[in-house]
């Protein structure tokens, strides 16, 4: 194998590796973006659930206070 053929072969392998790594990077980037979106949805759901829980808790406290006032 001549030096030219050797270098040509090495370049082909290098570009094949770069292409493969680029494709893997794109797939990983897409998975990361989907994971970030899922986390955002979960955070919003938790915040909404927490707000509903606080409202329900406040409602119970108000009802308890009303009952205590009526008993006196």
Give the start-to-end residue ranges of the domains of the chain. Answer: 1-71
Predicted structure pTM score: 0.56
**Structural tokens at position 21:** 């790594």
**What are the CA-CA distances from residue 10 to residues 1, 21, 55 (Å)?**
12, 16, 67
The encoded tokens of residue 32 equal: 């990361």
Q: What is the pLDDT of residues 5-37, one digit of tens each?
A: 999 999 999 999 999 999 999 999 999 999 999
More confident residue, 63 or 22: 22
CA atoms of 24 and 18, how far apart (whole Å): 10
d(CA 31, CA 6): 38
């Amino acid at each position: 194998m001549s030096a030219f053929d050797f270098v040509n072969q090495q370049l082909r392998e290098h570009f094949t590796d770069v292409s493969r790594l680029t494709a893997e990077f794109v797939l990983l980037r897409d998975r990361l973006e989907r994971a970030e979106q899922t986390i955002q949805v979960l955070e919003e759901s938790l915040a909404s659930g927490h707000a509903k829980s606080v409202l329900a808790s406040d409602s119970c406290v108000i009802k308890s206070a009303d009952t205590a006032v009526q008993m006196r």
